[in-house]
Amino acid sequence: MLDFEIDGKALQVQDGTLVIEAAHQAGIYIPHFCYHKKLSIAANCRMCLVQVEKAPKPMPACATVVTNGMKVFTHSDLAVKAQKSVMEFLLINHPLDCPICDQGGECQLQDLAVGYGSSAARFQEEKRVVADKNLGALISTDMTRCINCTRCVRFTQEIAGLMELGQAFRGDRAEVMSFMEKTVDSELSGNVIDLCPVGALTSKPFRYSARTWELARRKSVSPHDGLGSNLIVQTQHNRVMRVLPLENEQINECWLSDKERFSYQGLNSAERLTKPMVKQGGQWQEVDWNVALDYAAHALRDVAKNHGAANIGALLSPHATFEEMALAAQLMRGIGSENIDFRLRQSDFRADGKRQGTPWLGMKVTEISALDRVLVVGSFLRKDHPLIAQRLRQAAKKGTQVSVIHSADDDLLIKLFAQAIAAPSQLPALFAEVLKAVAELKGVATDPALAKVGAGGTASAGSAANTETAMKIAASLVSGSNVGILLGNFAQQHPQAATLNALAQQLAVLLGAKFGFLGEAANSVGGFVAGAVPSATGMNAAAMLAAPRKVYLLLGAEPELDCADGACALAAMQQASSVIVLSPFKSPAALEYADVLLPVSPFSETSGTFVNTEGRVQSFYAVTKPRGEARPAWKVLRVLGNLLELDGFNYDSSEQVRDAVLGGRPEFVSGLDNSVAGVAIELPAAAGVERIADVPIHFADVLARRSPALQATANAVAPTARMNAAMLTKLGVTSGGSVKVGAGGTASAGSAALMGTATLFAELDSGIPDGCVRIAAAHVNTIALGPMFGSLTVERG
Amino acid sequence: MALLQSINPLLSAGWQRDAHEWRLENDTGWHLKDYEARGGYQSLRKILAAKMSPDDVIAEVKKSVLRGRGGAGFPTGLKWSFMPKAAPEKYIVCNTDEGEPGTFKDRDIQRFDPHAVIEGMIIAAYAVGAGRGYNYIHGEIYELYQRFEQALDEARAAGLIGQNILGSGLNFELFAHQGWGAYICGEETGLLESIEGKKGQPRYKPPFPANVGLYGKPTTINNTETFASIPYILRDGGDAFLNLGKPNNGGTKLFSVSGHVNRPGNFEVPMGTPFPKLLEMAGGMRGGRKLKAVIPGGSSAPVLPADIIMDCTLDYDSIAKAGSMFGSGAVIVMDETVCMVQALERLSWFYYEESCGQCTPCREGTGWLYKVIHRIEHGLGRPEDLDLLSDVSTNIMGRTICALGDAAALPVLSFTKHFRSEFEYHIEHKKCLVPRDVQKAGSTFHTRLMAGTAC
């Protein structure tokens, strides 16, 4: 600890503390622009100049390290004169167009100019002008306003991992720009808008729509990936205008992914369902709530009575709130059906009934940063979990060895220790090789099921190089003292998900490591806790689509896009006698197959809870009133329960639902456990041309799909058939040529009619293993191709 | 015409005096065999053969009181001693990014004596324990960059650089790096950024390069002339070198004399030589005109009027006492035909053009200074401009990461201090105190252009 005095205030600070941090601890604000606690020190704006005792010149507080006995003066003549002179320099070429600038009212330059600027300008010369840049659909630029603090440049380089912005030219001709007029395509790009201390980078979707002081600020929680980022949702006239991060070091730090930041556009989409609707004689009629609810209750009751409640199935979106899931589960069980599931993209349910608890991340989010060895299995990490990828990126810079085994070599922008890529069917064998190598290094006998892998085995890990990489990864893991194994969305959706789970468990036991699942959606943990999974007698998501039910209850889900096999799901919907849809949106597909559409509130219009991937219970309130006649889904389910004369549907608030299920409001849910007992390790053989299906970041859920800005980004291009050069040659096509892809493999009886072909552009992707084609799921163009995993037919088309 | 003249030549002793028609391909004497013939690489051989310890080498350099020849004048031996001993990976960098207007001494060292630089760098690498070295040569002298590459090839072939140098077990790899002509890349940390392939922008110090330098490793950066002096110090001993100059100002120094003299060029004289002597060596004032002012240390140094500079001796202490800087030894001589406003306008343009754009005061301030001086020169000055100039200059000084801000401000402050009346005249009368035809008569460019001859 060091003795330090600032403006006469004495305090003790840690070694290595910067003057600006020490001042913060003392509650003293030092004006600054380029300094940001999460970014490297640039010391270029010079606004934070302060007087340091015995130093002849004013020193930048952001770059000066506290020494023992140091005395700093932030308001002395020397300091203030320096700060005021810097402000004068900053303003001479600044356009001072605050009245038409979107940053007005939340501009650091504007705020500090009040304190440090002068009322009249001494600069009488011509100002410099900088041409604006096109950085894509999300970031709007007014580069003349730029003060060259380079926060955005450092962000892209250090946090997002790829230097998409840079400062070119010299002197006052210096400009921040992208390389060769490219757009900024990072999935974290929107953060530069927050970082920009002036109006140079502003939000394109929000541009010119409101002033910050006109907006109400409400706290909320992101409904997208499993992280549960904390949000500030800004509203005006009962409309969500903008979403900003709410700083929470435990979860999202001060960042948001673009999906979380811009998906709010979907809330205001023209596809919003604002009145209950019932299909009568093939025609949609807008009806009153009581009519629609009666209709739904009748449909449920009739089928239960005439055909048995087992003929009713409920598919819940994993993005639904905890309370909605709990009530839907209660409703289904009340009418006697166990057919309820929210794990829509999962295809292997062998672990059901064998789980020892609720699957979760296996550690706290903050603990990810402290791991010294990490193995990520089956994850499109950067796109599926942008902020967890960011944490691993920072950890890797500090020396954490991050290894990956997966089926596609997407550049994670993380300094990886090792990476092995194998076809989806070979992923379990590849993972087993790592386990086997670890066991050998530890001198422990291996599971007999692993005999098939390695030398002389029948299960292939893809290539000899992969086997070698597996050994390298094993050696890395064994050398660690704080090891984490993370199973990504791809591993959870994999047809051998249970095997991967069992392998991870064995590996974790051998290493004394933590292992867990990267939660795909906002309530991937919450769904289990809410009971939205079938018990032994019920049918899981895949089963109730493969063996179609007579009535489906859909809560926020769009089965054709959200399920593991879109074609199968669509077929099941189309043959059902009744499909009851609770959704904020009326999609063209739902208008076709549904019989009743009940308008429910998206996350912004209802109170509720998301249980994030680390099991953290995060409740939130509505930020606006429901649009039109939409109502919170928990209320709709409550009334439906009453109409069906079920017990236990007398809740007056979502909080009561939560408290009843969780027994209060714990910070974390209990019963979290990733282990499984008695899951057989199956190592299948490769089969034909295999599909590798990712769920592209901006197609992943109903909100993102309806955000025009997100849909205009490079992350939302239509699916292509990506394959390596050998595959292209084999097919006789060139990158950019068209291929005809056909659904192959095991179509269920019901879906066979819908399984078809898609004509896509072939694209060279050297990160795809031999014999595989990568075709994104969750897109209308690829529904016909059926399951996310399995074989396809591909020919020149 | 002699390119060089010297008293007590040390560095330039073996240099070719009559550069044939100024053509590089006619140069002789720079090859390895020539350098060795005049005693080159003897210092290195002596050190390696005698197994002189690195500390002894540094002690010898300290004894010589060799001060950095790039401009700042930091004692070289002391700088070397800052290098951490234990670090496994260290670098030596030679700064041949000679960008200071008025300076052209390193160019001639590279032209006539590249092996002196190489030998100096090897000795320095040995002293500080560096395994790799780079010579950053600025973009305008591409031919000399090529020559340095050839010299490196010669040295490599002779086993003077590479693995196990001269069988001593010393390993040192040396490379040339071609710059692209940015002034700021002559700032040592800007130079390091440039070698790393980044935009040339100075780094905040501390940490200093001796701790965190090239690629984050401890690095020693010295000027070309500094390295070129090293072999002579080790050959003759630190005391002998010191005695060539005066106390606290060891050795001889190359001065680049330009401007209104009869024989501009490089002159090697002992430190402490009186300025009038140097002026006499340079052939005196052109056309017998009166000396008006001298910028003694490159364009960043404050200008000194004739009466002050004529009393100075050429060493760090005397010139600092007179209120200027010894700098890189670039002596810019101006006679009575010079309009000081126009001269300052040109200087300010240079700093405006070369500011890297990183720190606010320099990025914004250099442009402001230039625009105001430009206005004054073009008859649009205002009475308050002189106060504004001094205020803006003061606001830039000492508020930036590197010294470019100071370098831009000092000329403005010194020109307006020593020649204030000229500026006031300009503002008041919207024209120059020195009549236009007098200015033209003093310009070689103008007179030759008028006479129809090449400039």
Hey, of A170, A198, A397, which one would you mutate to test binding to chain B, going by the most B CBs within 10 A of its CB?
A170
Mean pLDDT of B205-231: 95
Q: Could you give the CA distance from residue A760 to residue A775 in angstroms, rounded to a whole number?
A: 9
- Structure tokens, A542: 């895949």
Residues of chain B contacting A89 with CB distance shorter than 8 Å? 360-361, 363-365, 368, 395
- Percent of chain A at pLDDT > 70 equals 98
Q: Could you give the CA distance from residue B386 to residue B407 in angstroms, rounded to a whole number?
A: 18
Q: What are phi and psi of A314, to 5 degrees?
A: -120, 125
Lowest mean pLDDT among A155-164, A624-633, B269-278, B438-447: B438-447
Cβ neighbors of A49 (< 8 A, separation 6 or more) are A58, A59, A60, A61, A79, A82, A83, A86, B399
On whether any CB of chain A is under 8 Å from the CB of B354, the answer is: yes
Residues of chain B contacting A88 with CB distance shorter than 8 Å? 395
Lowest mean pLDDT among A705-709, B119-123, B232-236: B232-236
* Cβ distance of A82 and B399 shorter than 8 Å: yes
Residues paired with residue B249 on neighbouring β-strands, in sequence order: B246
Q: How many CB atoms lie within 10 A of CB A577?
A: 14
- Percent of chain B at pLDDT > 70 equals 96
Q: Could you give the CA distance from residue B212 to residue A745 in angstroms, rounded to a whole number?
A: 59
Closest CA to B326 of B306, B304, B342: B304
Look up tokens 């990936």; give the residue.
A225
pLDDT band at A754 (very low <50, low <70, confident <90, very high): low
Cβ neighbors of A316 (< 8 A, separation 6 or more) are A324, A325, A328, A340, A341, A342, A527, A532, A555, A556, A557
- Does residue B455 carry a pLDDT above 60? no
Lowest mean pLDDT among A532-536, B10-14, B138-142, B165-169: B10-14
**ipTM score over 0.90, yes or no:** yes
How close A229 comes to chain B (CA, Å)?
34
CA distances, B34 to each of A641, B37, B117, B141 (Å): 102, 5, 14, 22
Give ∠ CA B185-B356-B215 in degrees, rounded to 5. Answer: 45
* Cβ distance of A86 and B360 shorter than 8 Å: yes
Q: What is the pLDDT of residue A459?
A: 75
* Cβ distance of B363 and A172 shorter than 8 Å: yes
- Does residue B316 carry a pLDDT above 80? yes
Q: What is the pLDDT of residue B17?
A: 67
How close A86 comes to chain B (CA, Å)?
6
* Cβ distance of A57 and B399 shorter than 8 Å: yes
Residues 30-69 of B with CB under 8 A from A: none
Q: CB-CB: which of B182, B354, B364 is closest to A89?
A: B364
- Structure tokens, A662: 């969780």
Classified as helix, coil or strand, B393 is helix
Cβ neighbors of A107 (< 8 A, separation 6 or more) are A98, A101, A197, A198, A199
- Does residue A233 carry a pLDDT above 50? yes
Q: What one-character DSSP code corresponds to residue A631?
A: B
* Cβ distance of B395 and A147 shorter than 8 Å: no
- Structure tokens, A544: 């109730």
Q: Could you give the CA distance from residue A18 to residue B234 in angstroms, rounded to a whole number?
A: 43
Nearest CA in chain A to B182: A170
* Cβ distance of A46 and B359 shorter than 8 Å: yes
- Note the Cα B413 to chain centre separation in Å: 22
Hey, of A87, A89, A175, which one would you mutate to test binding to chain B, going by the most B CBs within 10 A of its CB?
A89
On whether any CB of chain B is under 8 Å from the CB of A128, the answer is: yes
Residues of chain A contacting B204 with CB distance shorter than 8 Å? 41-43, 60, 63
How close A125 comes to chain B (CA, Å)?
7
Residues of chain A contacting B357 with CB distance shorter than 8 Å? 148, 167, 169-174
On whether any CB of chain B is under 8 Å from the CB of A172, the answer is: yes
The secondary structure of B236-291 as a DSSP string is H-HHHHHHHSBTTB-SEEEEEEEESBSS-EEEEEETTEEHHHHHHHTTSBGGGPPE
- Does residue A308 carry a pLDDT above 90? yes
Q: CB-CB: which of B366, B388, B399 is closest to A86?
A: B399
* Cβ distance of B395 and A88 shorter than 8 Å: yes
Q: What is the pLDDT of residue A292?
A: 97
Q: Which amino acid is at A786?
A: G
- Does residue A796 carry a pLDDT above 60? yes
Closest CA to A378 of A278, A292, A501: A501
- Structure tokens, B184: 């700021």
- Structure tokens, B216: 């984050």
Peptide bond preceding B207: is omega within 30 degrees of 0, i.e. cis? yes
Mean pLDDT of A694-723: 96
How close A17 comes to chain B (CA, Å)?
14
On whether any CB of chain B is under 8 Å from the CB of A125, the answer is: yes
- Does residue B2 carry a pLDDT above 70? no
* Per-residue exposure over B110-144, b if at least 16 CB sit within 10 Å of its own CB, e if not: bbbbbbbbbbbbbbbbbbbbbebbbbbbbeebeeb
- Structure tokens, A719: 């699916």
Which pTM does this prediction carry?
Answer: 0.94
Q: Could you give the CA distance from residue A379 to residue A491 in angstroms, rounded to a whole number?
A: 7
* Cβ distance of B358 and A148 shorter than 8 Å: yes
β-strands B330-335, B252-259 pairing: parallel
* Cβ distance of A43 and B204 shorter than 8 Å: yes
Sign of CA dihedral A345, A349, A353, A354: negative
| A624, A642 Cβ separation under 8 angstroms | no
Q: How many CB atoms lie within 10 A of CB B382?
A: 12
The predicted-structure confidence for B364-422, as pLDDT tens digits, reads as follows: 999 999 999 999 999 999 999 999 999 999 999 999 999 999 999 999 999 999 999 99
CA distances, B440 to each of B289, B337, B422, B437, B443 (Å): 14, 8, 17, 5, 5
How close A172 comes to chain B (CA, Å)?
5
- H/E run at residue B6: strand B4-6
| B355, B363 Cβ separation under 8 angstroms | yes
Q: What is the pLDDT of residue B381?
A: 95
Hey, of B205, B212, B358, B385, which one would you mutate to test binding to chain A, going by the most A CBs within 10 A of its CB?
B358
* Cβ distance of A170 and B354 shorter than 8 Å: yes
- Does residue B8 carry a pLDDT above 90? no
- Percent of chain B at pLDDT > 90 equals 79
Q: What is the pLDDT of residue B12?
A: 83
pLDDT band at A143 (very low <50, low <70, confident <90, very high): very high
Hey, of B360, B370, B376, B399, which one would you mutate to test binding to chain A, going by the most A CBs within 10 A of its CB?
B360
Burial (CB < 10 A; 0-12, 13-18, 19+), residue A483, is buried
CA distances, A613 to each of A497, A649, A667 (Å): 18, 28, 13
* Cβ distance of A86 and B354 shorter than 8 Å: no
Burial (CB < 10 A; 0-12, 13-18, 19+), residue A373, is buried
What's the number of CA atoms in the CB half-sphere (13 Å) around residue A578? 23
* Cβ distance of B204 and A174 shorter than 8 Å: no
On whether any CB of chain A is under 8 Å from the CB of B356, the answer is: yes
Q: What is the pLDDT of residue A747?
A: 47
- Does residue B142 carry a pLDDT above 60? yes
- Does residue B1 carry a pLDDT above 50? no
Q: Could you give the CA distance from residue B40 to residue A548 in angstroms, rounded to a whole number?
A: 92
| A181, A563 Cβ separation under 8 angstroms | no
Q: What is the average pLDDT score of chain B?
A: 92
pLDDT band at B11 (very low <50, low <70, confident <90, very high): confident
Nearest CA in chain B to A47: B360
The predicted-structure confidence for A352-396, as pLDDT tens digits, reads as follows: 999 999 999 999 999 999 999 999 999 999 999 999 999 999 999
Q: Could you give the CA distance from residue B362 to residue A89 in angstroms, rounded to a whole number?
A: 9
Q: What is the pLDDT of residue A128?
A: 93
Q: What is the pLDDT of residue B444?
A: 79
Residues of chain B contacting A125 with CB distance shorter than 8 Å? 368, 371-372, 375
The predicted-structure confidence for A440-482, as pLDDT tens digits, reads as follows: 999 998 888 888 887 667 777 888 899 999 999 999 999 999 9
Nearest CA in chain A to B372: A125
Cβ neighbors of A11 (< 8 A, separation 6 or more) are A4, A5, A22, A25, A26
* Cβ distance of B371 and A126 shorter than 8 Å: yes
On whether any CB of chain A is under 8 Å from the CB of B135, the answer is: no
Sign of CA dihedral A601, A605, A606, A608: positive
pLDDT band at A755 (very low <50, low <70, confident <90, very high): low
Strand arrangement, sheet containing A230-236 = A216-221, A230-236, A239-245
Closest CA to B291 of B300, B301, B304, B281: B304
On whether any CB of chain B is under 8 Å from the CB of A54, the answer is: no
| A721, A775 Cβ separation under 8 angstroms | yes
Q: Could you give the CA distance from residue A517 to residue A346 in angstroms, rounded to a whole number?
A: 13
Burial (CB < 10 A; 0-12, 13-18, 19+), residue A142, is buried
Q: How far apart are the first and last CA of chain B?
A: 16
CA distances, B412 to each of A271, A508, B358, B391, B425 (Å): 66, 69, 21, 10, 17
Nearest CA in chain B to A123: B368
- Structure tokens, B340: 């000081």
How close B200 comes to chain A (CA, Å)?
9
